[in-house]
A = this chain, B = another copy of it.
Amino acid sequence: MIDIEKLNHTFPFLKELSAADIFDFLKNVQVQQLKPGDIFLETGSQKNNLYFITRGLIRSYYINEKGEEITNRLRYENQLIASYEILFFNQASRFNFQALEHTELLVINFIELRNIIEQNSKLDTGRRFFMMNILSETLTALDDFILLSPEKRYLKFMQQHPELLNRVPHKYIANVLGITPVSLSRIRKRIATRKQ
């Protein structure tokens, strides 16, 4: 079932929509169920969708020259996820998107969403809100790489997503922090022994 509360929080502009518009909006929302391991968007794809995670956990990853998978994002319930290459730059996705748990997605066609927004000019506030959230998060993450050590980035990650440590393989978290899994394991040990 769709949690209107959560949806409203993520898309605050929904409140400003007329009933007809909401109907239009929901008409374009599909629900997709995923099993652990399922890939729902692949490198090279151009599927123009925005995904809202109602349940479960998603990673996006990249395959480097050595054939290794490098995870660059982790997203979970009540978060949005999308290929920014597709949405914002009309390019093919650089990354694969994979469910790590039983996951339920609301699949929102971005072109339809854009049409709805075009027809309701005041909804642009909503779009801006959405983009600013991504921008805020991304700018902060970037500055963290410049200003913080790997260990401090890990501590910050722990604070912000304490649940994830028990839900996500550490090797993925290590990737997101820009370090190797072995190094993350050592950092964890270092912190643990220091605490005593």
Given contacts A121-B121, A124-B124, A138-B138, contact A88 B132 (CB under 8 A): yes
Contact with B along A113-142 (1 / 0, CB 8 A): 000000001001001100110111011011
What's the tally of chain A residues with a CB closer than 8 Å to chain B?
28
Contact of A136 among B88, B124, B141 (CB under 8 A): B88
Which of chain B's residues has its CB closest to A87's CB?
B132
Min CB distance A179 to B, Å, is 10
**CA of A176 to CA of B90 in the docked complex: distance in angstroms?**
28
Binary flags per residue of A69-93, CB closer than 8 Å to B gives 1, else 0: 0101000000000001000110000
In the complex, chain B residues whose CB is within 8 Å of the CB of A135:
84, 88, 131, 134-135, 138
Neighbouring B residues of A134 by C-beta, 8 Å: 135
Cross-chain contact of A139 among B124, B138, B146 (Cβ < 8 A): B138
